């Protein structure tokens, strides 16, 4: 697994809109395509304010859900890369 993003600080796109439809969350950045946002991605997105590194977000999630950091790291890293790919987040540094 490639962990080159661990020291970067993610921040939500200013164009990101989250829509709650019958208890299911959807996100869009352009209003044309909707992406379902699952619970894991939502927990991660809530922490993408530009003040925590990916590594600090991993630590926070592992503590919140009482999971081992080694188990959380590949999941969070993969979700971060996907969120970046679909322009939900960008990295400050």
pLDDT by 10s per residue, the chain, length 93: 456 899 999 999 999 999 999 999 999 998 889 999 999 999 999 999 999 999 999 999 999 999 999 999 999 999 999 999 999 999 986
DSSP 93: -
Angle at 85 between CA 20 and CA 77, to 5 degrees: 90
d(CA 34, CA 30): 9
Can you name the residues that pair with 28 across neighbouring β-strands? 17
| One-letter-per-residue 3-state SS of 61-79 | HHHHCCCCHHHHHHHHHHH
pTM over 0.85, yes/no: yes
Q: What pLDDT score does 93 carry?
A: 63
What's the CATH architecture for 10-91?
Orthogonal Bundle (1.10)
């Amino acid at each position: 697994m490639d962990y080159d993003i661990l020291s970067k600080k993610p921040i939500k796109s200013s164009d990101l809109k989250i829509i709650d439809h019958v208890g299911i969350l959807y996100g869009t950045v352009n209003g044309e395509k909707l992406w379902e946002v699952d619970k894991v991605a939502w927990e991660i997105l809530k922490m993408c304010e530009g003040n925590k590194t990916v590594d600090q977000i991993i630590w926070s999630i592992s503590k919140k859900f009482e999971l081992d950091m080694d188990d959380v790291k590949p999941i969070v890293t993969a979700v971060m890369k996907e969120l970046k790919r679909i322009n939900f987040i960008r990295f400050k540094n």
